[in-house]
Structure 1
Amino acid sequence: MQDTRLNILLTGIVNQTVNFFRNPWRRLSLNIIGFLLGFFLASAISSIAGQAARWDVTFAFFFLIFTEGSNIIIYKNRNPNKPLWRTTLNALKIGFAYGLYLEALKLGS
């Protein structure tokens, strides 16, 4: 690729971001934020789907596609050193599934 100003700027930003998240505590905090975001999304989306009862099956299909698609992406390679975006996506998926499970328990009781 040519070394244009935009290319140099974007490469520098990406390198700074990668270096920023090399710290294990920052990686952990980003994974916790991903987990909590997944939990929030599960609560919000299931509440929205619950208001219009005719969308339940459609939303359940999209939840299934998201979960299985992220499983394929995350567990495709058995590499123990997964990139940051894969671990964050995994935390988001776990928070999402946990949030849906708790919503189902609330509705069941």
Structure 2
Amino acid sequence: MYFNINLLCLMLGFFLANILSTLPAQTGDWNIISGGIIATCNEIISKFIYKNKYIQKIVTINFINNIKIGILYGLFVDAFKLGS
């Protein structure tokens, strides 16, 4: 059961990365800025999660981590699409 939810969270993060990186980039000059903002927010969330030792034991933290992995994966895929 947890594998299905983890996979769903990963795909949700990938979908969110596609939405967040393509909506502001409609004009073509916000690609780098939107990617930087998404990566910065991702790192701030990681800072708050891993700062407290007791929060790491909660099961939902795994789901949040899978969403963050999906977001970073989506940004890499968008970068490869823009580079080709």
- TM bin (shorter chain): 0.7 to 0.9
Q: CA deviation at 1:75?
A: 2.7
Q: 1:34 aligns with which of 1, 5, 9?
A: 9
User: Cα–Cα, structure 1 residues 55 and 108, in superposed 2: closer, same or farther, change >3 Å?
Assistant: closer
Give the equivalent residue in structure 2 for 1:46. Answer: 21
Match of 1:60 in 2: 35
Note the C-alpha offset of 1:36: 0.4
Q: TM-score, normalised by structure 2?
A: 0.78
Partner AA of 1:47 in structure 2: T
What is the number of residues matched between the two proteins?
83
TM-score (norm 1): 0.63
Deviation of the 1:76 alpha carbon: 2.8
- Which of 84, 90, 95 is the matching residue for 2:59? 84
Q: Counterpart amino acid of 1:88?
A: F
Query: 2:81 matched to 1:106?
Result: yes
Contact 1:74 1:90 in 2 (8 A): no
CA contact (8 A) 1:34 1:91 kept: yes
Q: Which has the larger radius of gyration?
A: 1
Change (3 A) 1:73 1:33: farther
Shift in Å at residue 83 of structure 1?
A: 1.3
Using CA pairs under 8 Å that are at least 6 residues apart, name the structure with larger relative contact order, 1 or 2.
2
Q: Could you tell me which amino acid in structure 2 is paired with residue 31 of structure 1? A: N
Percent identity of equivalent pairs: 34
The two structures, once aligned, show a CA RMSD in angstroms of 2.1
Report the CA distance between 1:56 and its aligned residue: 3.9
Structure 1 portions without partners, runs of 5+? 1-24
Structure 2: runs of 5+ lacking an equivalent: none
2:70 aligned partner, one-letter code: G
